[in-house]
Structure 1
């Protein structure tokens, strides 16, 4: 079981390292819900998190997260005590925000600071699954767990890989020239199909108008036939 878990961790870490530039020492942003779960399942975050990630790990929280825990008083006294062990990640808000809003703004859509997020907050998890490049940690069954990459992260990684593999415009031109040199391959010019043209109206002879009193062709034929018949009678 341990071997399988370690393989999963290395696979996920390799994914984020190759596609999003995550390198040790890892920076993990921790909220009050994660600390509450750690106390419930008796997980020592400071000791177990570096062992789980198999690398040096820096643990962070924010002033907004601390303020929210303090506001709940004795309910979150334990998580607050754990959180105070960690360094403060500057969030630079004009006024105190809720922990979830603070974390959302701090990490943002692009996660430029390369932060892991350690939380049990479902809404936070769901929001970051719709963005690419944020590894997420949670506690389940007395164990810290690294979530597999979201579909959004996989899609972005795939696009980045395709962009690296695809030849540039210059490389495409070089390949084209090499093909011509090697195989005599030339571009086939498309033949232009001539459009069928009708008769030129200017080349057609205009119909001659019949003068007044002039016989038509059929009338002329009838007249000639009658003349022949008349001659044949006289000669007979």
Structure 2
């Protein structure tokens, strides 16, 4: 159960941070009923308990009207009054004192520009604040604290605001129409000297004059971007073989052939034949 509770609280906090821009440290506006609930159930310190729920550091606030209401309730609320006096006091602009729920609803307003988390045990006040688009609510149940999930109205408001961001506003449409009706002309101004230029065969003899760009010259910009052409580099002389002359190569090849023949002849052994005198057969007398 504790893991599911933490997941729900993370989703709710992420909803308010993403859709309505709540930032850390979160500001929690507490009324007298919530402070009394913390003291009655011995939930202390209150800032650490709330920071565990919201997953971030918190700052606790109350109002001048809430403190006056706790004073009026008598001695049974003296301990809760002392605890509430230790909290920071949020500024309320009304001069006359009001009830706690009226004071808190006036501080929150319609848009909750100060991004307050409201901590209260008053069910009527919670139902009233659920109808506003960006008011997260915290309440206590025995010795545990809970963050209410966003209401249906708050989720629908977030979806509609996202759709409005995707589409163009009326001012953006008007600006776009003006730009399309009056496009910017990037044409270069014509030179007055070209109007009186001669026509026919005289133009052939005349040399073409370069265009003048007074605006570019005044700005110090060149007419056209000049790109440096890369010249062909010579190869590395160490990696090139030296050229051999044909005559020297031919003579060397002939000498090699002659030497090869001599060596071949010298290597071939001649067979020496011994010529012995043949003995004639003796004739009988």
The normalised TM-score by structure 2 is 0.57
* Greater displacement, 156-165 / 113-122: 156-165
Following the alignment from structure 2 to structure 1, what is the Cα–Cα distance between the partners of residues 167 and 109? 29
Following the alignment from structure 1 to structure 2, what is the Cα–Cα distance between the partners of residues 54 and 129? 22
Following the alignment from structure 1 to structure 2, what is the Cα–Cα distance between the partners of residues 154 and 78? 39
Instruction: Number of aligned residue pairs: give it.
Output: 171
List per-residue Cα deviations over 1:110-165 (Å, max 9, x = no partner).
10110000000111101101111000000013111000112221111010122233
Higher relative contact order (CA 8 A, sep 6+): 1
SS in 2 for 1:47: helix
Which one has a bigger Cα radius of gyration? 2
Does the alignment pair 1:135 with 2:123?
Answer: no
Report the equivalent of 1:185: none
Following the alignment from structure 1 to structure 2, what is the Cα–Cα distance between the partners of residues 115 and 7? 21
User: What is the deviation of 1:47?
Assistant: 2.4
Following the alignment from structure 2 to structure 1, what is the Cα–Cα distance between the partners of residues 79 and 132? 31
Does the alignment pair 1:34 with 2:25?
Answer: no
List per-residue Cα deviations over 1:74-120 (Å, max 9, x = no partner).
13212212111210001121111111110010111110110000000
Report the equivalent of 2:43: 43
User: What is the deviation of 1:166?
Assistant: 4.0
Alignment of 1:106-117 (within 5 A): 106-117=107-118
Report the equivalent of 1:76: 77
Alignment of 1:53-202 (within 5 A): 53-166=54-167
Q: CA RMSD in A?
A: 1.7
Contact 2:47 2:59 in 1 (8 A): no
SS in 2 for 1:29: strand
User: What is the deviation of 1:61?
Assistant: 0.2
Report the equivalent of 1:2: 2
Following the alignment from structure 1 to structure 2, what is the Cα–Cα distance between the partners of residues 31 and 113? 17
* Greater displacement, 24-33 / 48-57: 48-57
Report the equivalent of 2:12: 12
* Greater displacement, 69-78 / 120-129: 69-78
Following the alignment from structure 1 to structure 2, what is the Cα–Cα distance between the partners of residues 135 and 68? 23
Following the alignment from structure 1 to structure 2, what is the Cα–Cα distance between the partners of residues 110 and 167? 23
List per-residue Cα deviations over 1:56-75 (Å, max 9, x = no partner).
10100001100000011113
Following the alignment from structure 2 to structure 1, what is the Cα–Cα distance between the partners of residues 77 and 124? 19
Following the alignment from structure 1 to structure 2, what is the Cα–Cα distance between the partners of residues 130 and 8? 20
User: What is the deviation of 1:39?
Assistant: 1.8
Alignment of 1:206-221 (within 5 A): none
Q: Which runs of 5+ in 2 are unaligned?
A: 177-285
Following the alignment from structure 2 to structure 1, what is the Cα–Cα distance between the partners of residues 80 and 112? 25
Following the alignment from structure 1 to structure 2, what is the Cα–Cα distance between the partners of residues 104 and 52? 23
Q: Which runs of 5+ in 1 are unaligned?
A: 174-236
Following the alignment from structure 2 to structure 1, what is the Cα–Cα distance between the partners of residues 107 and 15? 23
SS in 2 for 1:59: strand
